[in-house]
């Protein structure tokens, strides 16, 4: 998900607080370096502010979410690329408006001036220009970095994942754009996050609307930022900001107010094409025609049930040039983000209550990197995975089902002492046959502790060795869930384990 | 693969050259910022020094290698964790000896002092201490960062992957250690990189050997570094360095020379336990007994064919406390690294011609993070994936088989004009059935260009729509490789595609 640029409403109060927090943290770190009271060197045992470790349970959930997303990207024929975690500072300059101050820079240790990547879109554009690639459909899943005010309980971190899918190339209008929306629809449906809605608009319609409502050209961007707040402020407050703070005429504001309350589907686009004022603006007409075309493709893709043409959608990033969209979870139970606006959050994260994906068309970005300014039209979507992780984690917590953190199928155990060698011999057989197996790293573990390990870790089977079993050439196979035990001959063991674990 | 610390043999000449290179790069960047000759702002289109993008072909190879490695880690019951790409600077301090100067620091932008991670072992130890975890078997695959002199054609980068598998916990001796070697054996066998050899030694044997040969205590580390060069220098040169540069007596050097020429298996450990001098040293005896025990487990794991007890193996990192090992590709055809020693490379990368994995036991590292110094014994291995990527890429280049970068099973194509809607309708059916499919984003693409796209991308099937097919309620299914075409009824199409693609 691309957060908005150019609209960081940090209040002086929170800014100051966070500055104090940071300075205190630095002093504590220095104190720790100087040594504790016992003169011993003390470490501050933590991860950096706004970051976290993923424990095995969180990783299991993360893997599941990634698999769903990657399967979808692959189903749509995407290749994947990777880029370095840092770029030349210069590469990121001038792409993010005011949000540039949130970029992490590396220390100048001699050599190039470097910054951590802020999103995956700018590195993608740099990659296309550098390799003179004019068409590609690629996905990229990687961490990006922003020195934002973290709100980790709500899934906002300074280090976080983005899952981007983009289509670059000169194609017929709205076909790739529609596929991006199809992909968002597929992923959010498959992840079963509850009801959702995908809002669609177009930069050209917004600009055209501002023009016909009498907004002066130089105020387009700032009025656009104010419109973007409609999902967390009432129209009255938005109007007040336009008139009192941004100096717009009351008449213009009222006209905008009429438009931005409109939402619908293809019918709305058709109606606005007939609108006396709108139809006079060339840009708006082009945008509205494209929205109409987009909806016709969305019908064929069978996703119009969740897509709404919403004139109040105004994503902040500078680089969008055409259609824009944002997916929002609408079901109750999604942790609210209402207080974000008081926390100095940049506006996109707080944009939708439960905003989980966003994107749009950016036809000019690659040209900014090309020495001759050659353009490569692009459209893409970014899935906001951290929010989805939070929801999936909460669901996992609430559910009775245990999250497994390993895939072990069999524990090789022994009922008596002095059978370590026999256990190692058997587990080797299983590994060599491709079975996921483990033994305890003890010479003489208790049977009970071996069984307990299986119950806790969700290991479905135990292969138990004892003197008698060895004499008889069998292994006692125990089903952990039912405690049922059955003797299997050594020769049949691998086939039996494979049969039982493929059933599950 | 953990590179050695404390042994960066940068000559003044190369040091100076690299400094000049860096300054030139910085000036060129500044010049570019000031604008080109036409006064237009110019970008430097490159990735930072020592880094690279992965294109789709490289990603396909990377995915294959990762899948092999992850499958093996999972087969052995490992969980996975993730940690942030940067740590508090303090966390990394004092862990890497002289190599600390290769750590990337972040700029102080207010807040904590941060550094990019240098390996995955120190963050793992920090994670264990911070969460008070006393036993875990985990893998971690992630990028690490070193401001080293890159040698990218030989697979040495400033940003590179490590694939670590570690077992933490108080267990019976040598059982987890043996499993780490089993894992290296499985991975290198499965990747089919050619012949390999896993060298094993023990820090305690090295230290004991130095003691009985009369090396003064304070020279253990530096003499150890010199021994470590035996795989790229002759014994004569190593001896010269010991005597002339490090001030060791000729007699002591000769005694070391006898030991470090020894290699063997369990028999060698038994022989050295009887060695008049060695058996007097308690440390050496403990190490030798453990090597004996290790080999008995390796026999059960069926991997002794590739493991050699080699007294010249002396990995550099400070934190190893017991068994150490390193896997080396021995087959001809592996790009040589001989010139590394003249390039100011840190010693491990250049250690083995074709060194691809390394690790050992580090029982003290977690205790360095624990406020009460509580120890958690650990043993682990790190797979040096960049070298393996290079080899796999070369193999792919040399092979006639094309590397596919997408998994598309069917292209939905049309033979006539004005069938876009029909194509979109059909591709939707396929996507909804879980089939990997694509269409060209053109209203009226030429059939030839649709077929060409399939041939180039390795797409096996084309579903062709035409007026006649639509009338007849069929789709023409074309097999790209044989050019065979057959009409399939719409109702049977999905089953037929699934049947044909599961065969492949």
Q: Are the beta carbons of A92 and A117 closer than 8 angstroms?
A: yes
Distance between CA atoms of B231 and B228, rounded to whole angstroms?
Answer: 7
Mean pLDDT of all residues belonging to chain B: 88
Which 3 state secondary structure label does DSSP give B167? strand
Alpha helices in A132-245 (DSSP H): 175-190, 203-212, 220-227, 235-240
How many Cβ pairs closer than 8 A exist between chain A and B?
270
Suggest the residue from A58, A145, A300, A430 to mutate for an interface test with chain B (most B CBs closer than 10 A).
A300
Nearest chain A residue to B405 by CA: give it: A79
Q: Using a CB-CB distance cutoff of 8 angstroms, which residues of chain B are in contact with residue A454?
A: none
Is residue A92 within 8 Å of A104, Cβ to Cβ?
no
Task: Please list the alpha-helical segments (H only) found in B76-215.
Answer: 89-92, 121-130, 175-190, 203-212
pTM over 0.95: no
Q: What percent of chain B has pLDDT over 70?
A: 86
**Between these two residues, B160 and B1, which has the higher pLDDT value?**
B160
Q: Which helix (H) or strand (E) holds A477?
A: strand A474-479
Torsion on CA atoms B52, B385, B150, B227, rounded to nearest 10: 180
Top pLDDT among A42 and B287 is at B287
pLDDT average, residue stretch B272-278: 94
Nearest CA in chain A to B101: A109
Q: What mean pLDDT comes out for the span B494-501?
A: 96
Residues of chain A with Cβ-Cβ distance to B129 below 8 Å are 45
- DSSP for B253-274, written as a single string: HHHHHHHHT-EESHHHHHHHHS
**From B26, B138, B159, residue closest to A111, measured CB to CB:** B26
Kindly report, residue by residue over B79-104, the tens digit of the pLDDT: 999 999 999 999 998 888 778 889 99
Name residue, tokens 């899943």.
Answer: A141
Chain A residues closer than 8 Å to B380 by CB? none
Choose from B171, B426, B431, B442 for mutation: most chain A CBs within 10 A: B431
Residue of A nearest to B32 (CA): A90
d(CA B91, CA A374): 46
CB distance B107–A105 less than 8 Å? yes
Measured distance CA(B186)–CA(B73) in Å, rounded: 10
Measure in Å the smallest separation between the Cα of A74 and chain B Cα atoms. 6
Nearest residue to A309 via CA among A273, A362, A336, A353: A273
Min CA distance, A254 vs chain B (Å)?
Answer: 40
Option in B42, B84, B105 nearest A47 (CB): B84
Which neighbouring-strand residues pair with A361? Answer: A379
Q: Do A112 and B169 touch (CB under 8 A)?
A: no
DSSP A268-323: HHHHHHH-TTGGG-HHHHHHHHHHHHHHHHHHHTT-GGGEEEETT-----TT--SE
Cross-strand pairs, A383: A163, A357
Beta carbons of B269 and B293 less than 8 angstroms apart: no
Q: Which long-range contacts (CB under 8 A, 24 or more apart) does B56-59 make?
A: B56/A79, B56/A80, B56/A81, B56/A136, B56/A138, B56/B405, B56/B406, B57/B396, B57/B403, B57/B405, B58/B389, B58/B393, B59/A79, B59/A80, B59/A81, B59/A82, B59/B405
Helix (H, G, I), strand (E, B) or coil at B224: helix
- Structural Rg of chain A based on CA atoms: 28
Q: Which of A363, A215, A207 is nearest to A286 (CA)?
A: A207
A21/chain B closest Cα distance in angstroms: 8
pLDDT band with cut points at 50, 70 and 90 for residue B19: low
| pLDDT band with cut points at 50, 70 and 90 for residue B143 | very high
pLDDT at A152: 75
| Contact list, A54 vs chain B (CB under 8 Å) | 81-83
- CB contacts of A404 in chain B (<8 Å) are none
Task: State the smallest CA–CA distance between residue B181 and chain A in angstroms.
Answer: 13
* Beta carbons of B428 and A138 less than 8 Å apart: no
Provide the β-strand partners of residue A145. A159
Among B6, B163, B162, residue whose Cα is nearest residue B96 = B6
CA-CA distance, B466 to B457, in Å (whole number)? 23
Summarised one tens digit per residue, pLDDT across range B298-321 is 999 999 999 999 999 988 667 899
The structure tokens 């089902």 sit at A401
pLDDT values of chain A reduced to their tens digit, one per residue, 504 residues: 444 433 333 334 445 556 666 666 666 666 555 544 444 556 689 999 999 999 999 999 999 999 999 999 999 999 999 999 999 999 998 888 778 889 999 999 988 999 999 999 999 999 999 999 999 999 999 999 999 887 777 778 999 999 999 999 999 999 999 999 999 999 999 999 999 999 999 999 999 999 999 999 999 888 988 898 887 889 999 999 999 999 999 999 999 999 999 999 999 999 999 999 999 999 999 999 999 999 999 999 999 999 999 999 988 667 899 999 999 998 755 454 434 333 333 333 333 447 899 999 999 999 999 988 899 999 999 998 988 998 898 888 888 888 899 999 999 999 999 999 999 999 999 999 999 999 999 999 999 999 999 999 999 999 999 999 999 999 999 999 999 999 999 999 999 999 999 865
What integer pLDDT is reported at residue B345 of this predicted model? 38
Contacts of B419 (CB under 8 A, 6+ apart): B465, B466, B470
The minimum CA-CA distance between B164 and chain A, rounded to whole Å, is 15
Record: contact B91-A43, CB cut-off 8 A: yes
pLDDT of B27 higher than 90: no
Q: How confident is the model at residue A351, as a pLDDT?
A: 36
Chosen for mutation from B19, B424, B437 (greatest number of chain A CBs closer than 10 Å) is B424
Kindly determine whether residue B111 and residue A25, on different chains, have CB atoms separated by under 8 Å: yes
Cβ-defined contact of A441 to B143 (cutoff 8 Å): no
Neighbour-count burial of B491, counting CB atoms closer than 10 A to its CB (0-12 exposed, 13-18 middle, 19+ buried): exposed
Cβ neighbours of A46 in B, within 8 Å: 88, 130
Structure tokens at A314: 């105004």
Interface test with B, best of A61, A406, A417 (most B CBs within 10 A): A406
- Eight-class DSSP state of A230: G
Lowest mean pLDDT among A49-58, A141-150, B7-16, B210-219: B7-16
Tell me, what's the pLDDT at B451?
A: 97
pLDDT given for residue B8 in this prediction: 37
Query: What value does the mean pLDDT take over residues B390-394?
Result: 88
Put simply, the answer to whether B437 touches A42 (Cβ < 8 Å) is no
Whether A107 and B110 lie within 8 Å, measured CB to CB: no
Q: How far apart are the CA of A143 and the nearest CA of chain B, in angstroms?
A: 9
Q: Which residues of B touch A439 (CB under 8 A)?
A: 175
Tell me whether residues B43 and A86 touch, CB distance under 8 A.
no
- Name the residue of chain B whose CA is nearest to A367's CA: B43
pLDDT of res. A36: 46
* Distance to chain B for A100, nearest Cα, Å: 13
* Residue in chain A lying closest to B114 (CA): A48
Gap between the Cα atoms of B230 and B185, Å rounded: 24
Best A370, A424, A462 residue to mutate vs chain B (most B CBs within 10 Å): A424
B110:A53 CB<8 A: no
pLDDT at B68 over 70: yes
In chain B, the residue whose alpha carbon lies closest to the alpha carbon of A126 is B45
Q: Which two three-digit tokens encode residue B389?
A: 């990527």
State which residue of chain B sits closest to A138, comparing Cα positions: B56
Mean pLDDT of B193-218: 95
**3 state SS of A478:** strand
CA dihedral (B275, B278, B283, B285) in degrees, to 10, reads 0
């Amino acid at each position: 998900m691309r957060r908005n640029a150019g609209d960081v409403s940090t209040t002086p109060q929170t800014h100051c607080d966070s500055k104090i927090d940071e300075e205190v943290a630095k002093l504590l770190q220095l104190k720790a370096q100087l040594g504790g009271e016992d003169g011993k060197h003390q470490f501050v045992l933590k991860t950096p502010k706004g970051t976290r470790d993923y424990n095995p349970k969180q990783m299991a959930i993360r893997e599941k979410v990634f698999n769903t997303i990657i399967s979808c990207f692959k189903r749509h024929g995407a290749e994947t690329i990777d880029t370095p975690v840092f770029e030349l500072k210069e590469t990121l300059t001038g792409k993010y408006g005011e949000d540039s101050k949130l970029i992490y820079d590396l220390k100048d240790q001699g050599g190039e001036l470097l910054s951590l990547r802020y999103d995956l879109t700018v590195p993608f554009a740099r990659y296309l220009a550098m390799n003179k690639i004019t068409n590609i459909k690629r996905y990229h899943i990687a961490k990006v970095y922003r020195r934002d005010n973290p709100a980790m309980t709500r899934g906002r971190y300074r280090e976080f994942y983005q899952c981007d899918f983009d289509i670059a190339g000169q194609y017929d209008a709205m076909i790739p754009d529609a596929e991006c929306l199809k992909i968002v629809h597929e992923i959010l449906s498959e992840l079963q996050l509850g009801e959702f809605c995908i809002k669609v608009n177009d930069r050209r319609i917004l600009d055209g609307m501002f023009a016909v409502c009498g907004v002066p050209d130089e105020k387009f961007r700032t009025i656009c930022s104010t419109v973007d707040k409609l999902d967390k402020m009432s129209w009255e407050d938005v109007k007040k900001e336009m008139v009192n703070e941004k100096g717009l005429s009351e008449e213009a504001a009222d006209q905008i107010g009429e438009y931005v309350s409109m939402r619908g589907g293809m019918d709305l686009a058709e109606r606005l094409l007939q609108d006396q004022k709108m139809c006079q603006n060339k840009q708006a007409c082009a945008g509205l025609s494209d929205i109409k075309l987009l909806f016709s493709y969305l019908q064929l893709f069978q996703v119009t049930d969740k897509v709404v043409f919403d004139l109040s959608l105004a994503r902040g990033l500078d680089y969008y040039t055409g259609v824009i969209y944002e997916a929002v979870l609408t079901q109750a139970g999604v942790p609210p983000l209402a207080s974000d606006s008081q926390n100095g959050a940049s506006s996109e994260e707080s944009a939708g209550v439960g905003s989980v994906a966003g994107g749009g068309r950016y036809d000019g970005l690659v040209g900014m990197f090309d020495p001759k300014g050659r353009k490569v039209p692009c459209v893409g979507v970014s899935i906001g995975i951290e929010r989805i992780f939070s929801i999936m984690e909460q669901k996992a917590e609430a559910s009775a089902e245990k999250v497994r953190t390993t895939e072990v199928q069999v524990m090789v155990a022994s009922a008596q002492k002095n059978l370590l060698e026999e256990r190692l011999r058997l587990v080797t057989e299983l590994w060599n046959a491709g079975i996921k197996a483990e033994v305890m790293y003890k010479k003489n573990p208790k049977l009970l502790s071996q069984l307990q390990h299986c119950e806790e870790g969700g290991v479905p089977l135990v292969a138990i060795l004892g003197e008698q079993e060895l004499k008889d050439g069998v292994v006692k196979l125990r089903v952990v869930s039912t405690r049922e035990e059955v003797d299997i001959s050594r020769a049949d063991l691998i086939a039996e384990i494979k049969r039982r674990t493929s059933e599950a």
